[in-house]
Amino acid sequence: MIEFLFELIGEIIIQFIAEAAAEAGMHSLSDARSYKANPWLAGVGYALFGAIAGGITFWLLPDHLVRNEVLRKVNLLVTPLAAGGLMCLMGAWRARRGDTLLRIDRFAYGYVFALSLALVRFVFAQ
């Protein structure tokens, strides 16, 4: 049971770190952008960034952290929800501070990013 919790928390931490790094990069570029992208196009962009982040995490950690096949599938559903929720909480925190919000600070975009990251790891990790 402790091993499962460690594996699940490890996956969540990997996705959260990748999303936080992406958010930091997006915030550093946000002042330079003066246009508003189409929400669907932005969603595809976040999915692409998530897939790239998944490839990078696969390169760094080529093995699954969750060993059980059934738990791996549950993890594929639960972890992106948790990561999207954490990004939503970060967005609320940024809003309270008066910072500018990006799309990844919303649940849907954070979820899309985390889901594409998780799918790449699910398919390619050993």
Please give the full DSSP string across 40-75, using - where no structure is assigned.
Answer: HHHHHHHHHHHHHHHHHHHHH--S-S--SHHHHHHH
Q: 35-39, 55-59, 119-123: which range is least confident on average? A: 35-39
Residue 85 near residue 107, CB atoms below 8 Å: yes
Q: Is residue 124 over pLDDT 90? A: no
Which residues fall within 8 angstroms of residue 67, CB to CB, at 6 or more apart? 7
Q: Is residue 35 over pLDDT 60? A: no
Q: Is residue 79 over pLDDT 70? A: yes
* Separation between Cα atoms, residue 102 and residue 36, nearest integer Å: 11
* Separation between Cα atoms, residue 3 and residue 73, nearest integer Å: 17
Confidence (pLDDT) at 61: 81
Please, what is the end-to-end C-alpha distance for the chain in angstroms?
Answer: 22
Q: 31-40, 98-107, 112-121: which range is least confident on average? A: 31-40
